[in-house]
Structure 1
Amino acid sequence: MNMTAMTTELTQLINGENVRHNLSVAQLVEEVLERKEGILTSTGAIRATTGAYTGRSPQDKFIVRERSVENKIDWGSVNQPISEEAFNKLYLKVISYLKERDDIYIFDGFAGADPRYQLPLQVINEYAWHNLFAGQLFINGSEDSISNEQPFTILSAPNFKANPEIDGTNSETFIIISFEKRTILIGGTEYAGEMKKSIFSVMNFLLPENNILPMHCSANVGFEGDVALFFGLSGTGKTTLSADPNRRLIGDDEHGWSTSGVFNIEGGCYAKCINLSKEKEPQIFSAIRYGAVLENVVVDDETREADYDDAFYTENTRAAYSLDAIDKVITPSIAGHPQTIVFLTADAFGVLPPISKLSKEQAMYHFLSGYTSKLAGTERGITAPEATFSTCFGSPFLPLEATRYANMLGQKIDEHGVQVFLVNTGWTGGEYGVGNRMKLKYTRAMVQAAIEGDLDYIETLKDEIFGLNIPIHVPGVPDDILKPHLTWNSKEAYNVKANELASKFKNNFKKFTHVSPEIEKFGGPISK
């Protein structure tokens, strides 16, 4: 099927009588309630559940193997290829399915707060609550501001299920990106996060072509203009730590770093809200109001109050809300070059220091390593913390070869003299099941000290196994906590686990064949 024919099919779809185009928040809320897709909570937010799939489905994500991208994509288990023929056939099936729905919903907007690098989007949804989600997470634009550039279109049909034997997928679920046809097909899953992360994958492909580094990080800015970045996978604390009442939020998850500075790719936040409380995370808690969307959160049948401590559906409970719901946010979401970068890791081994100062080589090593623990519920099949290495803290979303992103980051660290820290928000006093999660108040104190420059002249001690430079004192944090072996009951048990993790680092790093030898030699663990 050629491009013209596919365009015709799409045009017929978006001009159909069943289309509800760019509805307001109030109209979409009404649609959600009338169609019984969700319920209204006590704060005015919509609560929806996503059925069997309460996290991303990485094994069901594909990129169409097209001539223009054939030699650019880093093909493999993350970027699985699917043929143009299979995509075209599935495209027609999804279009036909959506045409037959009583109503479909269309959102027009952007990805990218910097007007010079914006990507126009068109999101077509089977569910009204998914369209409300899109309006919260992406950047809204009036019809006059919509670019003449062909938009990247998301076709989302959760109740359409693929037949793997016929459609070339791995299961009934599919998330397929076609760069030539500027289209994303999503089916077989109700998890709204697939839309958000698919667009991030697209931006990770497009932005480097303009010498812009796409980053899986949160970002905020002080009132004097100092910018801080927070890298980390889901559940490591990006959203929590960047929502600082003493700083203004740029964004909580996805950014670009251009020659002018950083900009948010999104127009909203997608916060993990298991165990959310007003006391610990007041900005996030207050943002969950009318217009926001709660995913898989338990809600009392009578009071309609959310119980954020209940993981009945999943631990990967989520809240989607607009940046406008945050009190201290910078508008537009654009700022200067960062002075501080924080790599966040949730170490389930409980052996990494809670904070370390990184040299240039260490920064590149840990960026490429991207070590953390996948937390329960963030992906299908993950029921307990699982040690993992996600390159650049965002491996599932990197279509290009990893060292391209790493080299761009290294150049920018050099160019702007950025201070880099590794912060462990995971376990202390023992591994998962034995020790305890690091207290949020201590992590906040460490991050604040790093950003405000309080650690620039503090004496450090070198960790004997990982070679990390540990500050001997951080204001507001007990000194003993800074040295992980002192928090364990047995130093011997600590050494066993620490060396086990160090070996995992070394084995993982063997996959990088185009990295400077200095990064591996001076950046990683020093244990034998």
Structure 2
Amino acid sequence: MSAINQMSDLSQLLNEPNVHHQLSVPQLVEKILSRNEGTLTNSGAVQATTGEYTGRSPHDKFIVKDEESAENVNWGKVNQSIDELTFIKLYHKVLDYLKKRDELFVFNGFAGADERYRLPLRVINEFAWHNLFAHQMFIRPDQNDLDHHDAEFTVISAPTFKADPEVDGTNSEAFIMISFKHRVVLIGGTEYAGEIKKSIFSVMNYVLPKQNVLSMHCSANVGKEGDVALFFGLSGTGKTTLSADPDRKLIGDDEHAWSNYGISNIEGGCYAKCINLSYEKEPQIFDAIHFGAVLENVILQEGSHQPDYDNTTLTENTRAAYPLHHIKNTVVPSVAGHPNAIVFLTADATGVLPPISKLTKEQAMYHFLSGYTSKLAGTERGVTSPQATFSACFGSPFLPLAPSVYAEMLGEKIDQFNSDVYLVNTGWTGGPYGEGQRMKLTYTRAMIHAALEGELNSADTYTDPVFGLNIPVHCPGVPDEVLIPRKTWDDPKAYDEKAHELANQFHENFKKFKHASSEIANAGPNYGKE
């Protein structure tokens, strides 16, 4: 028995009379309002704010280093280590703190829609609105599930507990700690609800590959013929927008698993960005924000309960959390077959990547490991001009294992299930950011439609001399001249300079993947290869 179990008084805490287990949505909303944790909006959603922390705090995230994790975790800036004794001491301090709170809230549920691989979990919250968030984001059990529920991972969230870095071994008052040995996530000092969701995603990224299941940071949908599509992409690339298709059913918008049985959603809800949300632009998300939904850091219009989605007073990272059944066009349960098509989305601010290209398996693994997009000015403090951003597997902050583990699994599954892979640039054309223009959404939708319908499989292609990408020379609904980036620039020499500059950035970033095979390393840009 582990030290934490020998010392733990968690069971005692859970049996206290002030601990509420498995409250319904109306009961949680009543608690939120009576405890002044949030406000009811005109649509019936709950609005809450998160104080100082309005986003994830990666500098405060740790994985406990012990005999379970030491040889498995890819340690570094993303996966910071903390020793087991420090974790156990803080764990008991948090439990002692929670014993003194007037009320606690417990949700029992699952991560993983495929029952063969789902993770039974327990979430213990100091805030009722955090418990509503967990209720809506994870998979909700029926009564039979509850009768047989035995949590294999526990999330303990104590936002008002502030750590003392000198005593508790943290970097600040906030901390997010994962112990794979003790199967506990410990969160404190931050009220940002997204830490609850993303910590369990990190857990699934550790446990699923051990079962030969690829965990993925992507959205997924399915067509009328059962054809499945995956959409990978970092923030601002259009992942949520492009996976929401009235002609296809949504499997999920953020986290999925790919097993030998097919695709399954890891979550039971959506955590959508709300900045500049409108019915005209995102009708599915707009309509999903009703009773039971949680609005995070969305400002209400003065003197009313009307959300002001354009208001960035608190943060640009405003969010809505709601269960999948708030979206009409979804798959229930959220499982489907193997993907026919995989789409890597990038918003290239240099304007040199083609709007669509079909990738070989080696190119797919190269671009999966690269995870490229552009970070635009204004999205982060200190960013005044577009910057190339690389996030391995399109989800580096949530990967406990080495990126090569996920990339190799992806390559194997592409081979096994004969999936087509496309790189789609939703960024700039005709010049870089500030000179060219953003790719028209209608063009991008037409290209993705053609890819998913198999219309590009036999298309004639042009091989880009810098990036080595195979570009279709014709796509229904898209002018031919848009497809070849160099032809859209007024100054071809300026294009060449930007293309060579981006190619060099790809090569420089890829140097960190020392264990990648030569076939994968050589699948990157042709220019600047050493």
TM-score, structure 2 normalization: 0.95
Q: Indicate if the aligned counterparts of 1:109 and 1:141 stay in contact, CA closer than 8 A.
A: yes
Letter of the 1:455 counterpart: L
Alpha-carbon distance in 2 for matches of 1:392, 1:31: 40
Report the CA distance shift for 1:161/1:369 in structure 2 as closer, same or farther (over 3 A): same
Q: Indicate if the aligned counterparts of 1:499 and 1:527 stay in contact, CA closer than 8 A.
A: yes
> Once the two structures are superposed, what CA deviation does each residue of 1:78-120 show, in whole Å capped at 9, x if it has no partner?
1111001110111111111211111111111000001111101
CA displacement at 1:380 relative to structure 2: 8.1
Alpha-carbon distance in 1 for matches of 2:240, 2:474: 26
TM-score, structure 1 normalization: 0.95
Letter of the 2:215 counterpart: P
> Once the two structures are superposed, what CA deviation does each residue of 1:389-442 show, in whole Å capped at 9, x if it has no partner?
111111111111111111111011011111100111223333334444333222
CA displacement at 1:339 relative to structure 2: 0.5
Instruction: Name 2:123's counterpart in structure 1.
Output: 123
Q: Indicate if the aligned counterparts of 1:86 and 1:168 stay in contact, CA closer than 8 A.
A: yes
**Which secondary structure does the structure 1 equivalent of 2:116 belong to?**
helix
CA displacement at 1:36 relative to structure 2: 2.0
Letter of the 2:34 counterpart: E
Letter of the 2:467 counterpart: F
> Once the two structures are superposed, what CA deviation does each residue of 1:348-395 show, in whole Å capped at 9, x if it has no partner?
323222211111111111011111234679888778754211111111
Letter of the 1:53 counterpart: Y
Alpha-carbon distance in 2 for matches of 1:376, 1:121: 39
> Once the two structures are superposed, what CA deviation does each residue of 1:100-148 show, in whole Å capped at 9, x if it has no partner?
1111111110000011111011111111111111111100113531455
Alpha-carbon distance in 1 for matches of 2:482, 2:4: 60
Instruction: Name 1:133's counterpart in structure 2.
Output: 133
Alpha-carbon distance in 2 for matches of 1:50, 1:395: 24
> Once the two structures are superposed, what CA deviation does each residue of 1:266-307 show, in whole Å capped at 9, x if it has no partner?
001111122222222221121111111111223213342222
Moved more, 169-178 or 479-488: 479-488
Instruction: Name 1:484's counterpart in structure 2.
Output: 485
Q: Indicate if the aligned counterparts of 1:376 and 1:384 stay in contact, CA closer than 8 A.
A: yes
Letter of the 1:340 counterpart: A
Q: Confirm whether residue 509 of structure 1 aligns to residue 524 of structure 2.
A: no
> Once the two structures are superposed, what CA deviation does each residue of 1:220-259 show, in whole Å capped at 9, x if it has no partner?
1111110111111233222221121111111111111111
Q: Indicate if the aligned counterparts of 2:154 and 2:185 stay in contact, CA closer than 8 A.
A: yes
Aligned residue runs from structure 1 range 335-350, under 5 A: 335-350=336-351
Q: Indicate if the aligned counterparts of 1:234 and 1:378 stay in contact, CA closer than 8 A.
A: no
Instruction: Name 1:20's counterpart in structure 2.
Output: 20
Q: Indicate if the aligned counterparts of 2:351 and 2:427 stay in contact, CA closer than 8 A.
A: yes
Aligned residue runs from structure 1 range 119-518, under 5 A: 119-146=119-146, 147-374=148-375, 386-518=387-519
Q: Indicate if the aligned counterparts of 1:156 and 1:186 stay in contact, CA closer than 8 A.
A: yes
**Which secondary structure does the structure 1 equivalent of 2:216 belong to?**
strand
- Count residues with an aligned counterpart: 526
Instruction: Name 1:34's counterpart in structure 2.
Output: 34
Alpha-carbon distance in 1 for matches of 2:275, 2:480: 29
* Identity fraction in percent: 65
Letter of the 1:524 counterpart: G
**Which secondary structure does the structure 2 equivalent of 1:116 belong to?**
coil
Alpha-carbon distance in 1 for matches of 2:316, 2:246: 26
Report the CA distance shift for 1:305/1:148 in structure 2 as closer, same or farther (over 3 A): closer
Q: Indicate if the aligned counterparts of 1:176 and 1:186 stay in contact, CA closer than 8 A.
A: yes
> Once the two structures are superposed, what CA deviation does each residue of 1:185-224 show, in whole Å capped at 9, x if it has no partner?
1111111111111101100110111111111111111111
Letter of the 1:394 counterpart: G
CA displacement at 1:261 relative to structure 2: 0.5
Instruction: Name 1:92's counterpart in structure 2.
Output: 92
Instruction: Name 1:48's counterpart in structure 2.
Output: 48
Report the CA distance shift for 1:395/1:443 in structure 2 as closer, same or farther (over 3 A): same
Alpha-carbon distance in 2 for matches of 1:182, 1:381: 37
Alpha-carbon distance in 2 for matches of 1:287, 1:305: 15
Q: Indicate if the aligned counterparts of 1:315 and 1:376 stay in contact, CA closer than 8 A.
A: no
> Once the two structures are superposed, what CA deviation does each residue of 1:144-178 show, in whole Å capped at 9, x if it has no partner?
31455443111111121111111111111111000
**Which secondary structure does the structure 2 equivalent of 1:306 belong to?**
coil
Alpha-carbon distance in 2 for matches of 1:284, 1:164: 40
Letter of the 2:88 counterpart: N
Q: Indicate if the aligned counterparts of 1:107 and 1:131 stay in contact, CA closer than 8 A.
A: yes
**Which secondary structure does the structure 2 equivalent of 1:117 belong to?**
coil
Alpha-carbon distance in 2 for matches of 1:490, 1:34: 63
**Which secondary structure does the structure 2 equivalent of 1:307 belong to?**
coil
Instruction: Name 1:110's counterpart in structure 2.
Output: 110
Report the CA distance shift for 1:472/1:308 in structure 2 as closer, same or farther (over 3 A): farther
Moved more, 293-302 or 201-210: 293-302
Stretches of structure 1 that go unaligned for 5 or more consecutive residues are none
**Which secondary structure does the structure 2 equivalent of 1:153 belong to?**
strand
Q: Indicate if the aligned counterparts of 1:316 and 1:378 stay in contact, CA closer than 8 A.
A: no
CA displacement at 1:5 relative to structure 2: 3.4
Q: Indicate if the aligned counterparts of 2:108 and 2:149 stay in contact, CA closer than 8 A.
A: no
**Which secondary structure does the structure 1 equivalent of 2:220 belong to?**
strand
Moved more, 283-292 or 11-20: 11-20
Alpha-carbon distance in 2 for matches of 1:348, 1:125: 41
Aligned residue runs from structure 1 range 72-87, under 5 A: 72-87=72-87
Alpha-carbon distance in 1 for matches of 2:516, 2:99: 50
CA displacement at 1:491 relative to structure 2: 2.8
Report the CA distance shift for 1:193/1:27 in structure 2 as closer, same or farther (over 3 A): same
Q: Indicate if the aligned counterparts of 1:350 and 1:428 stay in contact, CA closer than 8 A.
A: yes
Report the CA distance shift for 1:431/1:17 in structure 2 as closer, same or farther (over 3 A): farther
Alpha-carbon distance in 2 for matches of 1:410, 1:369: 14
